[in-house]
Amino acid sequence: MIPPLILQNTFAKALQPLTKLIHLYLGVFLSDEKFFYSHLDHACAVKPYAPDECFLCRQSGPVDTVRERELEASEIMAKRLKCLESISWSTFFVQGNGGGERSTTKWVLRKDGKIRMKGTPWS
């Protein structure tokens, strides 16, 4: 498995020539590969359901790790892609009420030479 930080920087570097890119969706899950297989081991015993609906998965701690990776990866992308306003990732852990979408979006604000990120659009 490629370490997440290397993967994030590789994507950012590859996309850097897209100087006018403002919205980006990467269908990449930033969870550990073993996490999903672990979920399948215990989820298939009952009925199939998603990791974000699974008590065992939510209690084992990957949610915080995935959220940190999503934020870190978004910040790396925003630093390299100067016009980027939003970036979305595939995720097993839908924020809010979900609405069935398996993605998470980070919104970028550039002000006074600093980059700030949050999960909803900046007003």
Tens-place pLDDT, residues 22-42: 999 998 888 887 887 777 777
DSSP secondary structure letter of residue 75 = H
pLDDT reading at 115 higher than 60 = yes
DSSP secondary structure letter of residue 17 = T
pLDDT reading at 5 higher than 80 = no
> Rounded mean pLDDT of the chain?
84
5 vs 111: CA distance, rounded Å: 25
Residue 29 backbone dihedrals phi, psi, to 5 degrees: -90, 130
Cα dihedral 20, 23, 26, 31, rounded to 10, equals 120
Tens-place pLDDT, residues 52-66: 777 777 776 678 888
Angle at 68 between CA 89 and CA 101, to 5 degrees: 30
Helix, strand and coil content of the chain, in percent to the nearest 5, comes to: 40, 20, 40
pLDDT reading at 16 higher than 60 = yes
Tens-place pLDDT, residues 83-95: 999 999 998 877 6
Residue 49 DSSP SS3 = coil
